[in-house]
Structure 1
Amino acid sequence: MNFSSELPPPEAPAEKKSPVVEYIQQLGQTSVPAAEVSNLYCLTIIGQIEGHIVLPPQNKTTKYEHLIPQLVAAEQNKQIEGILIILNTVGGDVEAGLAIAEMIASLTKPTVTVVIGGGHSIGVPIAVSSDYSFIAESATMTIHPIRMTGLVIGVPQTFEYIEKMQERVVRFVTSHSRISSELFKELMFKTGDLNRDIGTAVGGADAVNYGLIDGLGGIGEALTYLNRLISERKGAQTGGLTQ
C-alpha cells in the first residue's frame, strides 16, 4: 500500500462581501450616511411599506426597521446637512408608515420629499412629513380610508380602533400640509372616483392645488430647494452666534 506524504490542499477562505454588496442586499442602497461622498443623504421608500408582518418574497418592499437606523445615523452624522426622501410607494402597514413619518418630521436637519410615480395610502403622511414636499406632474396619490386584513373581531371596539387610527392619519396630514381636515376627509370618502372602492386618486397638479403637496417638481427642484434650506439654516446659526 502506498502512502502519499502530501497533505490535502487547504480550503479556500470564504470570500468576504464588500460593504457595498452588504448594503445593497440588506438595505437596497449602495451606501449608508457617509461624510466623504456628499453633505446630503438620499433615503428611498419604494414598493410596499413592510411593518410587523413579513410580506411574500416576490413583493417589492421597504422595511421600516431598515429605515429607522438610517434616519438616526443621518441625524447624528455632523457632515450630513440635509436629507432627500424619494417616494414611489403603494402604501402598506399603517403604524409603520406613521412611525417613519413621525421620525422624518422630528429630524432637526432640513428635509425634502419627492413623490415620483406614486405616494399612495400611508405614503401620503410620509410625503408631507418633510420641511417641503414635491411631486412629479405624472405622479399620483391615492387617499382612502384605513382597511384591516386578516382576522377581524366583529365588535364595536374594533371599529372604534379603526376610527381612532384614521383620525391619527388625518391629524398628521393636515398638521404637516396646507390641506384642511374637511377637504382631506371629503377626498378620503369620495365615491365613484376609484373602481369599486372609496377614495380619490389625486394627480400631481391637483395635490398642489389642494394644499397636500407644496410644489410640482422632481429631483432637480428638490435638490435646489434642499440646498436653499441648508443655506438658510447655516445663516440662522451664524447670525445667532454673532449677536
Structure 2
Amino acid sequence: MEQPDPGAPERRPGNPVVDTIQQLGQTVTPAAESNIFCMTIIGQIEGHIVLPPQNKTTKYEHIIPQLVAAEQNPKIEGILIVLNTVGGDVEAGLAIAEMISSLTKPTVTLVLGGGHSIGVPIAVAGLKSFIAETATMTIHPIRLNGLVIGVPQTFEYLDKMQERVTRFVVSHSNVTEEKFRELMFKTGELTRDIGTTVIGVDAVKHGLIDAVGGIGDALRELNQYIEERKRAVVPGAGVMPQ
C-alpha cells in the first residue's frame, strides 16, 4: 500500500496554505502593511445580551478596543468603516457611532448591502459617508421587539433614547430633523410596521448619506483626508490646528 508523502505541503496538518484556503477561500492574502485601518460592522450588533451562536454578530466590546488601538497607533493614518448590518442593540450601536465620530484621525464610512436601524448613526458618524447604489437603509422608531409598552416610565425611556439617536443622525448628516422624523414614522411602506427603507440614491437625496459610491470612492476620499491632515500639521508642533 502506497504511503502518503510526509513532505507534501498540501497534506501536512497545520499547513498555512491549507489553513488560508479553509478560512478565506484563497491561497494568498495581501501582506503589505497599510496606513488605513479597515473595520467591518456586519450582521447584528451585539450589546448587553449575547445572541444565539448561529447569528452573525458584531460585538461592541470587540469594536471599541480596536478603535482605541487605531487612534493610538501612529502607523494608522485613516480609518475605513464598512457596514452591512441589520441593526441591533441601540446603546451599543450608538456607543460605536460616538466613538467613530470622536476619533481625531480621518474616517470614512461605506454602506454595502444594508445599514439598517441603529446602523444608520454608525453610517453617518464618519467625516464622509458613501453608500452602494443597491444598498438600503431602514429608518424606524426604537422598539422592544414588538411588545406593547404598558408602563409610562418605559415609554419615556424609549422616547429619550429615540431623541438621542435622532439628534446624533441630524448633527452628523445633512438630513433635517423634520425629514428624518417623517421617514421614521411613515406608515404604509413597511408591512405591518412604520418606517421607511431608502435605497442608495434616495439616501443621498434625503441627506442621510453624502454620496453614492463603492470601495474605490471611499478609499480615494479617505486618502485625500489623510493628505489634507498631513498638510495641516503645524511645523514643529506635530498637531493639527483647532
Classify the TM-score, shorter chain: 0.7 to 0.9
Q: CA deviation at 1:150?
A: 9.1
Q: Give the TM-score normalised by structure 2.
A: 0.83
What residue identity is the alignment partner of 1:228? Q
Deviations 1:121-168 (A, max 9, x none): 000000000010000010000000001149877221110101000000
Runs of 5+ consecutive residues of structure 1 not aligned to the other structure:
1-14, 29-35
1:109 counterpart residue number: 105
Q: Does 1:146 align with 2:142?
A: yes
1:128 counterpart residue number: 124
> Within 5 A, what are the aligned runs for 1:59-208?
59-149=55-145, 154-208=150-204
Secondary structure at the aligned position of 1:207 is classed as: helix
Deviations 1:201-236 (A, max 9, x none): 001101101110011101000000000000000000
What residue identity is the alignment partner of 1:126? I
Q: Give the TM-score normalised by structure 1.
A: 0.83
Q: CA deviation at 1:196?
A: 1.1
How far apart, CA to CA, are the structure 2 residues paired with 1:190 and 1:240?
Answer: 54
**Which aligned runs of 4 or more in structure 1 are off by greater than 6 angstroms?**
150-153
Question: For the structure 1 residues 156 and 117, does the alpha-carbon distance in structure 2 shift closer, same or farther, using more than 3 Å as the test?
Answer: same
Aligned length: 217
**Aligned Cα root-mean-square deviation (Å):** 2.6
Q: Does 1:51 align with 2:47?
A: yes
Runs of 5+ consecutive residues of structure 2 not aligned to the other structure:
1-12, 25-31
1:31 counterpart residue number: none
Deviations 1:160-210 (A, max 9, x none): 101000000000000000100000000000001111110000011011011
Q: Percent identity?
A: 74
How far apart, CA to CA, are the structure 1 residues paired with 2:185 and 2:147?
Answer: 24
Instruction: Give the conservation status (yes or no) of the 8 Å contact 2:124–2:208.
Output: yes
Question: For the structure 1 residues 150 and 217, does the alpha-carbon distance in structure 2 shift closer, same or farther, using more than 3 Å as the test?
Answer: closer
